[in-house]
Amino acid sequence: MSSRSLKVILGGTLIDGTGGPPIRDGAVVISGSRIVEVGPAGEGEVPRGAEVIDAAGRTVMPGFIDAHTHFMGLGVRTLTTLDLSGTRSISEVLSLVRERLAGMPRGTWLLGRGWDESKWVERRYITKRDLDPVSPENPVALVRVCGHLITLNTRALQAAKITRETPDPPGGKIDRDPLTGEPTGVLRDAGMLVYKVIPPTPKEMSLKGLRKACEIALSLGCTSIHEAGMDANGFRTYQTALEEGLLTVRAYVMPRGTMIEALEALGVRTGFGNEHLKIGSVKFILDGSMGAHTAALFEPYADDPSTSGIFVTPPERLREMVMKAHSLGMQVAIHAIGDRGIEEALNALEAALEEEPREDHRHRIEHCEVLTEDQIARIKRLGVIASMQPNFVGEWSQPGGMYEERLGPIRLRRNNPYRRLLDEGIKVSFGSDCMPFHPLYGLWSAVNHPIEESRITLEEAVRCYTLDAAYASFEEDLKGSLEPGKLADIIILSEDLTSIPPEKIRDVKVDMTMVGGKVLYRRVA
């Protein structure tokens, strides 16, 4: 081994991603892009001429793998979109909209994203009546944090030709004034009505956005991502980024279900690609979101008994598409949040597996939030991966939070039951869905789950965000743990996670991020 390609990380606490106990005062030896030795620091000599990285008092662990994110969109929004994620009232949103519009030409679109009415003093959705006085000349579209609900002002409704006569689209809903029938500006899982008239993102901006997302990811210790739904243009952007050396994290990109015919024509299956960019599972959307009251539940919403959610895709149509993707050798990923949605997702997967049995399919349910005991048993029996987002419980499972409002206290206990799933031996992969994109916040959320019986250990949470996330992309032999022969995708954290109170985990910083043995991020103190 050439000493110039050798690195040794010494002295930190190793959390290796396997779920095993931490190694105190550990050592990781790296040759080129791979890990060659892992163990206690005193067991071997430092190779002569190796670069030594002192990690004493800190944590060394595999790079995080975000198993469900909208990565390119994250970067593009950071560069182009009004960020509403920190707002605490409608009036604060209106102030930001007014300020942004002051520097924009008349008639140009203003796009905003990230608002969350459950964090506002008003505790209600924003409507066109709120927006119109501050935006009389520009179309405005403000997307809720979940992405399943959009509020438009009158100018935007006019641009999209949405009137009182416009019917609800399949799988979506236009909110209307109960007295006049006029649209309120709120669209639930009906974004297709307005996205078709919003100017598309230029290719150059998509590429800049992807580069920006990579910078954000590396600064947060994330070395791999699963892009949860991408069209042909998005794939081209990823390929260009790879060719130009801009894709500095590893990507497992999921084609949208609408691309199934193209995949069939090309003969491409899940896993096509290389260590840096691969085609992932086919992504289908079955129901909506809890925040938009569109996740499909067996019983009505506690805070809106008039609805129990919707199916964005009719269950019978989902079964057809899942069967098609399964028969082509593709991994399937189904967005299903509510218990009724999860039931139909399992029905579709079970029907496909009965029709055409396949070992090691690793089909996934994305989000998989409100579960019954029977569904947990079926997930285990069918070998389905639960692809979940622990940051959701940090954001909305607190007492009096949005989940309790939507579900009530009894169903709340069945929401995101990580402990129960792991105890059954079910594979759970963690991601963020960009709400927020922050793996350490996700760890904090899982370890400090507001529902105490659903909490998991630090080592288990790390495994869900590393090795089991790699399993969800058929890459557990390649990455996701600190083991000899695996890719040297490694991070060093500012604190020893095992020696601080669990509630402090979200405050820890990433000091260093390494991808394939190359240090791509160092924190500036």
Rg (CA), the chain: 23
pLDDT of residue 322: 98
pLDDT of residue 196: 95
- All domains of the chain in start order, with CATH: 1-62+482-525 (2.30.40.10), 77-195 (3.10.310.70)
In this prediction, residue 43 carries a pLDDT of: 67
- In 10 A of CB 410, how many CB atoms? 9
pLDDT for the residue 8: 96
DSSP-assigned letter for residue 182: -
Q: Are 220 and 66 in contact (CB under 8 A)?
A: no
User: What is the overall mean pLDDT for the chain?
Assistant: 96
Give phi and psi for 80, each to the nearest 5. Answer: -125, -20
- Cα separation, 73 vs 437, in Å, equals 12
What is the rounded distance in angstroms from the CA atom of residue 443 to the CA atom of residue 437?
Answer: 12
Query: Which of these, 97, 146, 204, 162, lies nearest to 367 by C-alpha position?
Result: 146
**Nearest-angstrom CA–CA distance, 181 and 104:** 32
Residue 209 is predicted with a pLDDT of 98
Closest Cα partner for 129 from 111, 110, 107, 153?
Answer: 153
- Whether 73 contacts 27, CB under 8 Å: no
Angle between helices 373-382 and 339-355 in degrees, nearest 10: 30
Q: Give the pLDDT band of residue 1 (cuts 50, 70, 90).
A: very low
User: Over 60: is that where the pLDDT of 3 sits?
Assistant: no
2 pLDDT higher than 90: no
The whole-model pTM stands at 0.97
Q: State pLDDT tens for residues 214-237.
A: 999 999 999 999 999 999 999 999
pLDDT at residue number 296: 98
Question: Looking at per-residue confidence, does 5 or 153 come out higher?
Answer: 153
> What pLDDT, in 10s, does the model give residues 36-93?
999 998 766 788 889 999 999 999 999 999 999 999 999 999 999 999 999 999 999 9
- Three-state secondary structure along 218-275? HHCCEEEEEEEEECHHHHHHHHHHHHCCCCCCEEEEEEEHHHHHHHHHHCCCCCCECC
Please state, in angstroms and rounded to a whole number, the distance separating the CA atoms of residues 471 and 479: 9
pLDDT tens profile 321-374? 999 999 999 999 999 999 999 999 999 999 999 999 999 999 999 999 999 999
pLDDT tens string 23-35: 999 999 999 999 9
Contact 241, 247 (CB under 8 A): yes
List Cα–Cα distances, 504 to 61, 438, 457, 465, in angstroms.
18, 14, 14, 18
Of 3-7, 190-194, 242-246, 402-406, the least confident: 3-7
Q: Beta strand pairing status for 64-69 and 490-493? A: unpaired
**What share of the chain has pLDDT > 90, as a percent?**
97
φ and ψ at 9, to 5 degrees? -100, 120
Question: What are the backbone angles phi and psi of residue 307, rounded to the nearest 5°?
Answer: -140, 150
Pairing mode of beta strands 332-336, 282-285: parallel
Output the pLDDT for position 42.
76
The predicted-structure confidence for 261-302, as pLDDT tens digits, reads as follows 999 999 999 999 999 999 999 999 999 999 999 999 999 999
Task: Say what the pLDDT of residue 4 is.
Answer: 55
Question: Can you tell me the distance from the alpha carbon of 78 to that of 215, in angstroms, rounded to the nearest whole number?
Answer: 11
Q: Are 396 and 303 in contact (CB under 8 A)?
A: no
